[in-house]
Structure 1
């Protein structure tokens, strides 16, 4: 086994805060289920690293899959703002999952090569491929706070190569928060020594069944009110919240 993420920093980075804030699109809400796969990847162009999570809800619904970008092209798991380091959102989500199901953060996870059906952009379909699997997370229970959001469809600018918003829209999902099973605690609460979950109920009240409008272009007009969700493209260097990688939840469940 190998340690793929052992170089990721946990020093001098701002702590995460609890904030309210493939495919069948799920309604917003908490989903408890089992991790079926959790494997590492890398963008061919930017070399940013990712972790893809495949999650089977206990309610028997469709499998949920999301790719989280845990580093930027400089192989940093943080960005700097106002002189302070903040973890990339993708790193925070993956590190929280690792903490909750194994008692160790992403930087302490060991990987084994496993063959998975992985989407190949050149062939435009899933093909069998050997990937580094975070084996200690497999079969473990976790609750994902999933958001349904309306976002603008993007097209690639043939001149700049950048993806740009269009007036067309679509609904997407992203993981907004991660909760421990069975306590429903967040990593933030556990680090503060909280034993009774409080944020879970507030998150459910604010988000369950609601669709967030994160469009920057609405009804054909540009708007400053839209927000971008968890990025689907690799983050750039210098570009949200984070957690240290000490054990908070004891043994895995």
Structure 2
């Protein structure tokens, strides 16, 4: 076995905070999943990902999180409310989600996870094929609660420069917005702050349950995006930009 993401750490990154994806998307809610698999991938441009496969209520849920940009960095330069650089590093949202899932299920962050090649069904060239992919073996069979949003977005299309941008067609998707401990109902941020009672769980439900979030960015005037982070020309992974290996303390007592 090997620690596939051992070069990614939280050193120097700002800690995540609690701030209020024949496909039928789930309603916005907090779902308790049994992890069937988590495996790593890489885009044509070099960005690295982790795909989560979970099961809840007899239904499978799959989501791919981008944990690095094409340069192998798990962060982007932080900016203040005026858009000015702060000189700090903000973790990529996908890295934070996967790191939190790992911490809650195993007590260890993504950088400490052992990986082992296993065969899984993946989409390649428009069809589903069996392929050996590096799996995070210790998370399989564990439970985690995910705050999943139902979101209305634009379908991405390739522009003249070969970059994927939001187009005029729309679709609904699910996307994970927050990760919770399924029994304690705590977020990692709450656990780091040594909270004894969960607060964000109910706050998240009050704000999001059964609502459809509007994530559309298509600008009819320009024929492209109306804002938001840049996209990779190859994959849809973040294009903006590692950090030395390190580790967090176990937040939930798992080893």
Question: Normalised by the shorter chain, which TM-score bucket?
Answer: 0.7 to 0.9
What CA distance in whole angstroms lies between the structure 2 residues aligned with 1:88 and 1:71? 7
Q: How does 1:44-193 map to 2 (within 5 A)?
A: 44=44, 46-57=45-56, 59-60=57-58, 62-81=59-78, 82=85, 83-120=87-124, 122=125, 124-157=126-159, 159-193=160-194
Please name the residue that 2:209 is paired with. 208
SS in structure 1 opposite 2:204? helix
SS in structure 1 opposite 2:69? coil
What is the RMSD computed on CA atoms of the aligned residues? 2.2
What CA distance in whole angstroms lies between the structure 2 residues aligned with 1:10 and 1:30? 26
SS in structure 2 opposite 1:63? strand
Following superposition, the deviation at residue 226 of structure 1 comes to 7.5
What CA distance in whole angstroms lies between the structure 2 residues aligned with 1:103 and 1:49? 22
Q: Is the 8 A contact 1:36 1:56 kept in 2?
A: yes
Q: Is the 8 A contact 1:107 1:245 kept in 2?
A: no
Following superposition, the deviation at residue 224 of structure 1 comes to 9.0
Number of residue pairs matched by the alignment: 238
Unaligned runs of 5+ in 2: 79-84, 242-246
SS in structure 1 opposite 2:2? coil
SS in structure 2 opposite 1:136? helix
What CA distance in whole angstroms lies between the structure 2 residues aligned with 1:180 and 1:162? 38
Q: Is the 8 A contact 2:218 2:226 kept in 1?
A: no
SS in structure 2 opposite 1:215? coil
Following superposition, the deviation at residue 246 of structure 1 comes to 2.5
Please name the residue that 2:39 is paired with. 39
Following superposition, the deviation at residue 237 of structure 1 comes to 3.3
Following superposition, the deviation at residue 217 of structure 1 comes to 3.2
SS in structure 2 opposite 1:13? coil
Unaligned runs of 5+ in 1: 239-243
Q: Is the 8 A contact 1:214 1:227 kept in 2?
A: no
Please name the residue that 1:234 is paired with. 237
Following superposition, the deviation at residue 221 of structure 1 comes to 6.1
Following superposition, the deviation at residue 29 of structure 1 comes to 0.6
Q: Which runs of 4+ in 1 moved over 4 A?
A: 220-228
TM-score normalised over the length of structure 2: 0.87
Please name the residue that 2:200 is paired with. 199
What CA distance in whole angstroms lies between the structure 2 residues aligned with 1:130 and 1:225? 38
Following superposition, the deviation at residue 9 of structure 1 comes to 2.8
What CA distance in whole angstroms lies between the structure 1 residues aligned with 2:29 and 2:228? 19
SS in structure 2 opposite 1:30? strand
What CA distance in whole angstroms lies between the structure 1 residues aligned with 2:114 and 2:251? 18
